Structure 1
């Protein structure tokens, strides 16, 4: 479907709401064809390197409040402590304490936060993150980075059903974990971290995309459309073509340009902690200083031994 057709259909049935004009990412949300309003929310800040998609639960205003509460707390962390697990915990506490939560108001969330050449994904529920890595033949590989907190995923993990059966299971929308929600007094947040790869793109989405569009089709759209804005429009169009039964939200992010030079550092973040002196001394200066100290100690020891031998 062409981008012009996407926009034409949007005028007749709901509207696409776009994120702030970006330079290396694009995002949009659409209410779909079956829901009266959009309970999804998205937000991004390229300068600080953070993106979020939230899918509200509870129906009507409750779901919208829940997803916006998540976004608000992620925004607050972006300008203060950059501690996004803590942000999701704050949102959870706020929703549990909200007087409107008699409607079982809650939200899923997936957050992408950059840290130099690394990225971190935090998530709760069935909103997803995928990594698309292009290949030299013009195609690419799509890998799901998150694991759904859902009833169907529990069945898959137990071996009761396979992934093909999961895609059409009648309870595939039932989630086992969310932010807020009266059945989740304690919130567990999952996280995955990785190194950006050259040419890689990360996709964040609500289940309005992932339950309607196959991974193969998502991969094809990303491989054929390197422009993020057009790819986002076509992903939403594909979900609408499949029926648009839920709100649809998509964010697509390119790997940062500087990541290729930073990849030269040979250690992972966990295996090579940098101490106080390495923060004070640039590049290889620390190695030179340590070598000089060792040589000095050896020289003094040798001189003392020679003096004692004479």
Structure 2
């Protein structure tokens, strides 16, 4: 992707960049070329270690309300109890109880929450989380989530293969979402993993994953260490593929590892060096004193011998 193309995408009024103070992650969203309105939503708080992408369903204002409801409940949970499964359940209940709601109003969601050296992924629907690990040939891109979709059910049952799934006429039909039905119980899937230095997480709506091949996504991440540029290029790739849906991405770096007890080790090492120096200095004084006493004894012996 050329620099000119990146600038063109960035200038588009539908693209929203992450806040400038972000250091480990960046995100962007674009309505695409076929939709009048962007029903996706995303949010991040690096200090609390929480990221979310939500893809609203229902068209026009309904989908926008649904995705924003999901984000708002995640924000509320990040500031209070940090129970993100409960936050998604609350969003589900709110959407079901909304008097504007119809059977088609809902949202998918994928959430990443850090817990020390680990991260947890929660998801509903077909918004995805990928884990990229650096290596030869563009590194390894692993899909952490499994779509809650009709086509994924067919793949899991062996009725169709992944190639057929990519072109299936019902590939956008999801089987689970937040809101969107009269079922009061929402099932939320979760996966957890430790971070490894150099890894990156990618969260995205199906506006990216349905249009851009995994190999191309991996290559963009491998060739662009700057998260903002990587996010822009991923959106540009989806637009080049037709931009048939809203597109949202977040790219997140693994935290920088801190050696356990690193500062204390430095302090202890400095103290040990000082103690060793003091011991050597004391030993040197003793040796000098012993040498002086030896010389004095030899002088006394010679003096008395002369008498």
TM-score (norm 1): 0.81
Residues 73-118 of structure 1: per-residue CA shift (max 9 Å, x gap): 0000001000000000000000000011125210000000000000
- Report matched runs for 1:178-197 at 5 Å: 178-197=177-196
Residue 198 of structure 1 deviates from its aligned partner by 1.1
Residue 10 of structure 1 deviates from its aligned partner by 5.5
- Checking the alignment, whether the CA contact within 8 Å between 1:131 and 1:202 is kept in structure 2 is yes
Residue 138 of structure 1 deviates from its aligned partner by 6.6
| Alignment correspondent of 1:128 | 128
| Alignment correspondent of 2:152 | 153
Please state if 1:211 is matched with 2:210. yes
Deviates more, 1:176-185 or 1:244-253: 176-185
Distance 1:183 1:214, change over 3 A: farther
How many pairs does the alignment contain? 259
- Report matched runs for 1:1-310 at 5 Å: 1-9=1-9, 11=11, 14-21=13-20, 22-102=22-102, 104-135=104-135, 137=136, 139-258=138-257, 261=259
Residue 212 of structure 1 deviates from its aligned partner by 0.3
Give the 3-state SS of the residue equivalent to 1:19 in structure 2: coil
- Checking the alignment, whether the CA contact within 8 Å between 2:103 and 2:182 is kept in structure 1 is no
Unpaired runs of 5+ in structure 1? 263-310
| Alignment correspondent of 2:303 | none
Residues 166-197 of structure 1: per-residue CA shift (max 9 Å, x gap): 11111000000000012533100000000001
In the alignment, the residues of structure 2 paired with residue 91 and residue 218 of structure 1 have an alpha-carbon distance, to the nearest angstrom, of 31
Of structures 1 and 2, the larger Rg is shown by 2
In the alignment, the residues of structure 2 paired with residue 242 and residue 209 of structure 1 have an alpha-carbon distance, to the nearest angstrom, of 9
| Alignment correspondent of 2:277 | none
Deviates more, 1:86-95 or 1:20-29: 20-29
Unpaired runs of 5+ in structure 2? 261-307
TM-score (norm 2): 0.82
Aligned Cα root-mean-square deviation (Å): 1.4
Distance 1:9 1:196, change over 3 A: closer
Residue 20 of structure 1 deviates from its aligned partner by 1.8
- Checking the alignment, whether the CA contact within 8 Å between 1:204 and 1:252 is kept in structure 2 is yes
Residue 211 of structure 1 deviates from its aligned partner by 0.1
